[in-house]
Chains A and B, each alone.
Chain A
Amino acid sequence: MTAKRVVRYGSLGYLAVILVAPVGLIFWRAFEHGWHPFWAAISNPDAVHALKLTLEITLVAVPLNTIFGILCGLAIVRHRIPGMGFVNAVVDLPMALSPVVVGLALYLLYARDGWFGGWLFRHHHQILFAYPGMLLATMFVSLPFVVREVVPVLREIGTEQEEAAATLGSSALTTFRRITLPAIRWAVAYGVVLTTARALGEFGAVAVVSGNIAGRTQTLPLYVQASYENSGSQTGAYAGAVLLAALAILTLVAMTMVRPRQEAHGDRST
């Protein structure tokens, strides 16, 4: 009885202190003086631009990493390509590496005297302090999530269903579309949610390569930090933070909305 209670209140208390209190405080601070200051803060042109930029980066980075993640997962599990073990290990690198290091590495690569930077500069392609560099940084840090979700599920479902489809006359592409993809769809969905969350919130790597110019290369997390430190209007920081939190919650809700249908089919019970 008491053990149960310890587990229940212990875990709830932990959640409250670590998770709910800080996030709740942000919301409370943002709306402390009512709806108007909040609205003024987020309709500020720099804030609007930051939100737009963050969405633009996320909407490109997430689909690309999703496609790559599925292909990479298939390559790791289904094909015995030499060097796939190495790829499997390297995919996790962004999880282990500090985002600042990622940013620095990209900086060194694309700076005017970097490996790629010189050539790109001569051909008038701006990577650093511009959208491409921020996109690359975001893609780098959010790379592993889809792969990591898809690989164990692919292992679990095995190859039999795909073989059965082949003997029934299904081409490789049709088999992928009608058998493999539906079987891994929840793993992909979950991977997309994690990728999106990571892409929305990325700070460190983007901070290094973006130059952090308000109204031009400032994403929403950078905007929050900048307005907290520089301007007197801390409401701006809170408002930006609330916006970020709202986007994250929206992503999670989107997931729970597509998820319940599967249980009715009972098709996760492999």
Chain B
Amino acid sequence: MAHKNIKKNVLFLSSLSILFLLPSFLFAQASSCIACHKELEEELLQPVEAFPLDIHNQVGLGCESCHGGNPREEDIDLAKDQTFRGKPERKDIPKFCASCHADVNYMKSFNPSIRVDQLSLYWTSWHGQLLKKGDQKVAVCTDCHAVHGIQKGTHPKSWTFPWNIPETCGRCHSDKEHMAGYKISTTQEAEYRESVHAHALFDKKDLSAPVCNDCHGNHGAVPPEVTSIAQVCRQCHLSPGKLFSDSPHKRAFDEMEISECEACHGNHRIDPPTDEMLGTGEKGVCAQCHDEGSQAFQVASQMREMILDLSGKIEKAEDLLSRAFQKGVEVSDPRYQLNEVNTLLVMIRDLTHGLSLESIEEKVKEADQKAAGVISQGEEALREARRRRTGLVITLIFIFLLAIGLFLKIRRKTKK
């Protein structure tokens, strides 16, 4: 009886499964676009190979979503029905992509917070403006985002992921042949790769480090003019920007129409700032504008002297603490205080942008006092290490004398 019941249940479940799965078998036909393009070569095969990883495929869109047509028809003539749009011309690509990406209602169904202003921004960019004038060499959507293998910007393999952006922009901007006629340099990417920003991005894997689009914009890419370069830097470097704006340099730079930050730090190749940049030495940037012997020249020298003196004290304190630590003395408290001195040094270096000698002197005085305290603790830690070793030697002498005495006593007793 039980056996019969089981048989019945199996039959019932099988019929139920077939009933539900049959429609999906019937409708889940392979796309005829893919079936045909698979048989083709090179350029016409590429979409089929790249599309499986494409973000559009991942959200459920197919070939017909962009190119139109009916992929369920096996006959090529029937598949290319009246909705078929085929491959857009290069000049039409921005509008082609924007037919979805500028449609708020449509894009909301995929991501409610997605931006839809890419096309309008693009028309404001040099790329967009030149395209409008009929220059088809300029970048369009597919040059930066790829064609059929488009990935989300957060995917490390995406062309627009931070550490791939220099290469993406460099594909055109580093190509002398491609850029011929535009009268702009083609060394930006190479220069950027030498910069402190590239070091942070590529070596420290700091994704917040700026790449091309952080300064130049992305869809609305326009080269910053002299007046706006400083605003670009201020996006991250707020404090030096504010100090500079309040300094006498601001008016002078504006009158002379000199770009602010770039004048001393450069643009694409921004080297790590050093104390040598301040003042009158070989690497000093002040001498670019100020004559030797001028008051500004002397102030810069004074600032540099103060900073170098403080750096020397920090180095000395660090050396003392390291030596004491190696000798086994606990120095975490003075190390903590030394961190405070280092923080003050960073603040002092920042203050140089404001050109106020008084405010720098005030901070240097505070830092000097703290550094002196750390140096004295470091020296005391080293004295402690010496005391420990001396104490050990005295104790060992005492212990070994006792051991020799005991040994002699044992030997005398053994002889007896």
A and B pair up: no
Task: Point out residues on B near A: beta carbons under 8 Å.
Answer: none
